[in-house]
Structure 1
Amino acid sequence: MKICVFGAGAIGGYMGVKLAQAGADVSLVARGPQLAAMQDRGLTLIEEAGQETTARVRAAEDPAELGVQDYVIVTLKAHSVPPVVPRMQPLIGPGTTIVSGVNGVPWWYFHKIGGAYEGTRLASVDPGNAQWDGFGPDRVLGCVVYPAAEVIAPGVIKHIEGNRFSLGEPDGSKSERALALSAALSEAGLKAPVRPRLRDEIWVKLWGNLSFNPISALTHATLDVLCTDTGTRAVARGMMLEAQQVAEKLGVKFPIDVERRIDGGAAVGAHRTSMLQDLDLGRPLEIDALVGSVQELGRVTETPTPTIDTVLALVQLRARSAGLYR
C-alpha cells in the first residue's frame, strides 16, 4: 500500500512520522524550509508525553517524483487545495483514493447524499469545481481530523493532543478501501474508525470552527475567554444554532447540544485557534471553508443565517485589511 500525504505541515507531518514508524510505504509532499529539513535530517516528532523520535521519510516538492499512489491524504488548508489539483495528477491512477482530511464543509459533501440536494456543488470550498472535476467524487474518502499539532521548527512537529482520524464513505458503507486504510492507520498507533454517518462528525467539529475561529480572529481571545465571556459566548451560540438549523435540514443528527459544545471549547483552555494563529503569522485565513460554506448552505436550504452573515462580513474585512483574504 502506497500512501502519500499531500501537505506535510503539522497534521500531515504527524501522520507521516507515525506511518513511517510503523513501516508503511509513505511519502510526503512539502516545500520550503520544511521540505529541506525533512530531506536533510528527517522528520522529528515530539509526542504528548515529551518523547522525541525522528523518521527518515521520502519527501518531494514535485509529486511527479513520487508516482501513482493507492491513497493520497490531503492535509492542506481548504483554500490551498483547488489551485494544486493539477499538480496532484501524477499521484492519481485508476485505483487511487483521495482522502479529504481538510477542515470545514468538504467539497464532496453532496456526493451520494441522496434526495433533493444530490450532486450540489459548493463554490465556497471548490471554486470552479476544481476538485469535483479534477479528482472525481467517486475517488473520495472522507476524514475528520481531531489531533492538534504544530510545526515548532522546520522538520519538527510537536503533537499536542488527540490521535483520531475518523473515516467515512460518502454513501456510509464500510468499503474495502476504508477498512484497509483504517487498518494501516491503526497499525501506526492512530485511531481510525470507519463511520457510517461521517457527516454528523463533520458538523460537530464544524460547530466550533465556524464560531470560535472567526470570533478569536476578531477579538484575539483564546478559547477559554471567548467561550465564557457573556457577549462572545452569545455570538458563538447564535452562529451554532443557525448552523444546526441548516444541518438538520440536510439530515444531520447532533449527539450533543450547543451549550455542551461551547463548554467543550472552554475546557480546552487558553488555546489560540488556527485562524488566530494564521492572522498573527500573516498566513491566508481559512474563512470560506469554515464560515462561508455554512452561509452558502443556508442559501441552498433557504435557512436565514443573520449572525453567521454578520461575523463572516467582519472577519472577511479584517482578513482583507491584513492582505490575507482574496
Structure 2
Amino acid sequence: MRFLIMGAGALGSYFGARLVAAGHAVAFVARGAHLDAMRTRGLSIRSPLGDLDLDRVRAFADPAEAGAADAVLFMVKNYDVSRAGAQLSSVLAEDAVVITAQNGITAHKRLADLIGPRRVAPGMVYMPADIPEPGVVGHYSDFSRLVIGPVMDGNAAVLEPVAAALRGAGIDVEQVEDADAALWEKFVLLASIAALTCLTRLDLGPIRACPETQHLLRAALDEAMAVGKAVCPGLTDTAADRAWSLLQSMRPDVHASMLDDLQRGKRLELDYVSGEIQRLGRAHGIATPVHGFANDLLRPFVDGAPG
C-alpha cells in the first residue's frame, strides 16, 4: 500500500519505518532538523522490538510532493489539524482512509469537517517514544499498539486492508466499535500523565513514589473519568481501573510528550488536554481542581517559552 505519514514525529516515524521494512511505499511529511536528517541519513529505530536502520526514506516538507496515498497516518499536533488537513485533498486516492492519532477527543471530528467523514477513522496510540536526535526514534516499551475506531460514515470495509498492512508490519492493531469510548479511555490516561508530569517536570516513577503526587495523579484520573462519563455514555466504570493499572505498570521513565514540548520551549497542546477537561467539567457542573490548576499554571507556556 501507499502510506503517507502526515506529521512524522516519533510515533509517525516509528510506524512509517516499520511499514517501509514490511515492503510498503511510505512518504514521510516532517519538518526541521528531523526532516533534514531523514533526507540526508535516513531513519533509525531503537526499540525493544528490534532496531531498524533505513538508509533511504522518502521525506518531504510538503505532502503535495509525496504523491497519492491509499492511507494516511495523521499524526500532527492538535493545533495543526486544520492547517495539515487542508493539505491532504491533493494527495488522497479515491478510497483513501485517514487515521487520526492526536491526543484528546476532537481531532477526528475537526478533520472530518475538512475532508469528509467517509475518509476519517479515529485512532489512539499506546506506546512511549521520542526523538533523541534528528533521524533517530527511541521506542521504550515491548509493545506498539494502535487502536482504531470505525470510519466515521460507517464503511468498515475500507479499513481492513490498512489494518492488515499495519499488523503485517509488526504493529499491534485493535479495531473497536465504540470509538468515542476508546478515545475517552485513552484520554483519561493521557491527560492525567500530562498534567502531573508537566506540573512537576518529573517522569512517572518519582510521581508514583511520592504519596502526595501519587494522590494527585489519581485525583486527576478520577476528574477526567467523571467528565468522560458525563460526555460519553459508553465509557464504563472499569475504564478508570484499567487506566490506573496501566499507570502503575508503566516504566518509571515514562512522561507525557507535552513535557518534552514544555522543556524544549515549544507550543503546548494544553487546550486539548487539561483545558478540555476543565471546559467540559464546567459545562457539566463537575469540579476539576487538578486539571484546572494544571491548565491555569501552564497557560503562560501554551505558545512556547514565555518571552
Q: Tell me the TM-score normalised to structure 1 length.
A: 0.83
8 A contact 1:167–1:193 mirrored in 2:
yes
The match for 1:195 is: 176
Greater CA drift, 202-211 or 255-264: 255-264
User: What does 1:222-237 correspond to in 2, within 5 Å?
Assistant: 222-237=203-218
Q: 1:106 to 1:227 in 2, by over 3 A?
A: farther
The match for 1:297 is: 280
Matched position secondary structure for 1:70: strand
Corresponding position: 1:143 with 2:123: yes
2:5 maps to a residue whose letter is V
Greater CA drift, 56-65 or 294-303: 294-303
1:185 corresponds, among 166, 177, 192, to 166
1:211 corresponds, among 192, 203, 208, to 192
Greater CA drift, 227-236 or 142-151: 227-236
Corresponding position: 1:37 with 2:42: no
The match for 1:103 is: 103
Matched position secondary structure for 1:189: coil
Q: 1:170 to 1:176 in 2, by over 3 A?
A: closer
Matched position secondary structure for 2:173: coil
1:286 maps to a residue whose letter is E
The match for 2:3 is: 3
Looking at structure 1, the residues matched to 91 and 269 of structure 2 have their Cα atoms a distance apart, in angstroms, of 25
Corresponding position: 1:56 with 2:71: no
**Cα distance per residue 1:8-47 (max 9 Å; x no partner):** 1111110111000111121111122222222222211222
**Cα distance per residue 1:54-91 (max 9 Å; x no partner):** 25322111111123322121112222222333333322
Looking at structure 2, the residues matched to 93 and 260 of structure 1 have their Cα atoms a distance apart, in angstroms, of 38
Looking at structure 2, the residues matched to 81 and 276 of structure 1 have their Cα atoms a distance apart, in angstroms, of 20
- Calculate percent identity across the aligned residue pairs: 29
Looking at structure 2, the residues matched to 257 and 84 of structure 1 have their Cα atoms a distance apart, in angstroms, of 32
1:60 maps to a residue whose letter is F
* Cα RMSD (Å): 2.6
Looking at structure 2, the residues matched to 4 and 257 of structure 1 have their Cα atoms a distance apart, in angstroms, of 32
Corresponding position: 1:92 with 2:72: no
User: What does 1:232-311 correspond to in 2, within 5 Å?
Assistant: 232-249=213-230, 250-254=232-236, 256=238, 258=240, 261-268=243-250, 269-311=252-294
Following superposition, the deviation at residue 321 of structure 1 comes to: 8.2
Aligned residues between the structures: 304
Q: 1:13 to 1:36 in 2, by over 3 A?
A: same
Greater CA drift, 232-241 or 149-158: 232-241
User: What does 1:151-170 correspond to in 2, within 5 Å?
Assistant: 151-161=131-141, 162-169=143-150
Looking at structure 2, the residues matched to 165 and 183 of structure 1 have their Cα atoms a distance apart, in angstroms, of 12
Following superposition, the deviation at residue 165 of structure 1 comes to: 0.7
Alignment gaps of 5+ in structure 1: 110-125
8 A contact 2:10–2:131 mirrored in 1:
yes
Q: Tell me the TM-score normalised to structure 2 length.
A: 0.88
Looking at structure 2, the residues matched to 181 and 60 of structure 1 have their Cα atoms a distance apart, in angstroms, of 22
